[in-house]
């Protein structure tokens, strides 16, 4: 059961919604960042690792809530 929850939260919400939303946002605004930078894979800067991961979690949950709301709205309207 823990593996399924881990796959859903880390794989779908954080990595998919959070990382890719931020990646495309920065690309559209004209300041492209690499996926490696946004995922916090920089081994030399520990603060960057934590801050990028926390931002991915926050953005991931916000986008997940919006997408869930839109799906429910479309189904029941």
Kindly tell me if the per-residue pLDDT of 43 is higher than 80: no
Residues 55-65: what's their mean pLDDT? Answer: 91
Half-sphere exposure of residue 26, counting CA atoms within 13 Å on the CB side?
A: 12
Is the pTM above the cut of 0.85?
no
Residues 10-17: what's their mean pLDDT? Answer: 83
SS3 46: helix
Collect all residues with Cβ–Cβ distance below 8 Å to 23 and sequence separation of at least 6.
33, 35, 38
Share of the chain above pLDDT 90, in %: 42
**Domain-wise residue ranges, the chain:** 2-76
Q: Any idea what the Cα angle at residue 40 is, between residues 38 and 45, rounded to 5°?
A: 125
């Amino acid at each position: 059961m823990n593996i399924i929850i881990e796959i859903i939260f880390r794989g779908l919400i954080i990595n998919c919604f959070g990382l890719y939303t931020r990646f495309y946002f920065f690309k559209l605004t004209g300041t492209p960042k690499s996926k490696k930078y946004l995922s916090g894979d920089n081994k030399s800067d520990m603060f960057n690792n934590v801050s990028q991961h926390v931002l991915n979690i926050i953005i991931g949950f916000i986008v997940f809530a919006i997408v869930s709301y839109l799906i429910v709205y479309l189904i029941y309207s």
